[in-house]
Amino acid sequence: ALPGRVTIWEVGARDGLQNEKTVVPVEVKAEFLDRLARAGLTTLEATSFVHPKWVPQLADAEDLLARLPRHDGVRYPVLVPNERGLDRALAAGVTHIAVFASATETFARRNLNSDLDAQFSLFEPVITRARAAGVDVRGYVSMCFGDPWEGVVAPEQVVSVGRRLRDLGCTQLSLGDTIGVATASSVERLLDTFTSGGVPVGELAVHFHDTYGQALANTLAALRRGVTTVDSSAGGLGGCPYAGSATGNLATEDLVWLLDGLGIAHGVDLDALVDTSVWLAGHLGRPSPSRVVRALAAR
């Protein structure tokens, strides 16, 4: 059975803009987030408190948070890798954070300068201190299906990483197909491995990159398994600077079109969202890769 309502976890300002060659001006980022909130999105991942040399595109995190538009019922989670990042995020007044783990050894080194086991020692004090401060913590797991250096990733390995994040206090796990290699059957297999391992589907979100054009099919497979939180980025922005072959996320417009067709509630005004992606594409200097944006913008 399909869910009646889905929460869209909009990652465009973070996952999208972290991958742009140029740094988008902070005023443009703030207006982007304001437009997304006015289009009805209620979960807007805003930025990351990571090392500014690692991700210079998001080095303005403090400045951006100070400019965030306040809308009732809108939350602005941020990525935090370590205690230094948490100190910065708490000083900026955040209420929701996400730590980001790797399911593979190689990506833990490349993305976190850590390793599979040591990443949990980075996160443990972050999660504990955040929860004590009343801050909610999501846990990403990257490379859930395949890794550019290690190949296919076993579902059991992903579940073991996810369970450790959950034991540390993450209230939701977002399963990342960082390089977009999943297909509907590998999605079903991973979700089934989680649920048979005792993690309720209500605690799982999916995070698909569209590198191989499978993001929508994978989303439908996840919805059919009962997933009710789906990550996407407006206009299909995105990628990961430390995972070469990754392209944009599932486009929020493509997701909204699918949900509308399935009769699943989501709360987003598609026309306002398309206008926003067309407006941002003007700033970025290239058209959105989203098929729905292109079709609707051409009307």
**Would you please indicate which residues are annotated as catalytic (active-site) residues?**
240
291 vs 295: CA distance, rounded Å: 6
Q: Which of residues 173-212 bind ligand HMG (CB under 6 A)?
A: 176, 178, 207, 209
**Cβ neighbours of 283 (radius 10 Å):** 14
12 vs 216: CA distance, rounded Å: 17
9 contacts 174 by C-beta, under 8 angstroms? yes
Report what 57 binds from ligand HMG, Mg ion, none; CB cut-off 5-8 Å by kind: none
- Least distance to ligand HMG, CB of residue 295, Å: 26
Is 164 or 207 the residue whose CB approaches Mg ion more closely?
207
Among 76-84, 126-134, 165-173, 262-270, the segment contacting ligand HMG (CB under 6 A): 76-84
- Least distance to Mg ion, CB of residue 186, Å: 17
Report what 50 binds from ligand HMG, Mg ion, none; CB cut-off 5-8 Å by kind: ligand HMG
What x/- string results for residues 247 through 276 when contact with ligand HMG is judged by CB under 6 A?
Answer: ------------------------------
126 vs 121: CA distance, rounded Å: 9
For the chain, percent helix, then strand, then coil, each to nearest 5?
45, 15, 35
DSSP letter string over 109-138? HHHHSS-TTHHHHHHHHHHHHHHHTT-EEE
- Least distance to ligand HMG, CB of residue 111, Å: 5
**Per rule CB under 5 A, is residue 210 in the interface with Mg ion?**
no
Q: Which of residues 45-74 bind ligand HMG (CB under 6 A)?
A: 48-51, 54-55
**Per rule CB under 6 A, is residue 82 in the interface with ligand HMG?**
yes
The string over 123-146, giving b where at least 16 C-beta atoms fall within 10 Å of a residue's C-beta and e elsewhere, is bbebbeebeeeebbbbbbbbbbbb
User: Out of 3, 6, 13, 15, which residue is the one contacting Mg ion (CB under 5 A)?
Assistant: 15
Quickly list H helices, 9-104.
26-38, 61-67, 83-91
Among all residues, whose Cβ is closest to ligand HMG?
A: 176
- Least distance to ligand HMG, CB of residue 207, Å: 5
**Per rule CB under 6 A, is residue 81 in the interface with ligand HMG?**
yes
- Least distance to ligand HMG, CB of residue 273, Å: 20
CA-to-CA separations, 236 to 148, 231, 294, in angstroms, rounded: 21, 11, 11
Report what 49 binds from ligand HMG, Mg ion, none; CB cut-off 5-8 Å by kind: ligand HMG
**Per rule CB under 6 A, is residue 100 in the interface with ligand HMG?**
yes
Is 30 or 97 the residue whose CB approaches ligand HMG more closely?
97
In the block, residue with structure tokens 């005792």: 198
What sign does the dihedral 83-89-94-98 (CA atoms) show? negative
Is 111 or 290 the residue whose CB approaches ligand HMG more closely?
111
As a whole number of angstroms, the longest Cα–Cα distance in the chain is 52
C-alpha distance across the termini of the chain, in Å: 34
Which positions lie near ligand HMG, rule CB under 6 A?
Answer: 15, 18, 48-51, 54-55, 79, 81-82, 84-85, 88, 100, 111-113, 140, 142, 176, 178, 207, 209, 240, 242
The residues that touch Mg ion, with contacts defined as CB under 5 A, are 15
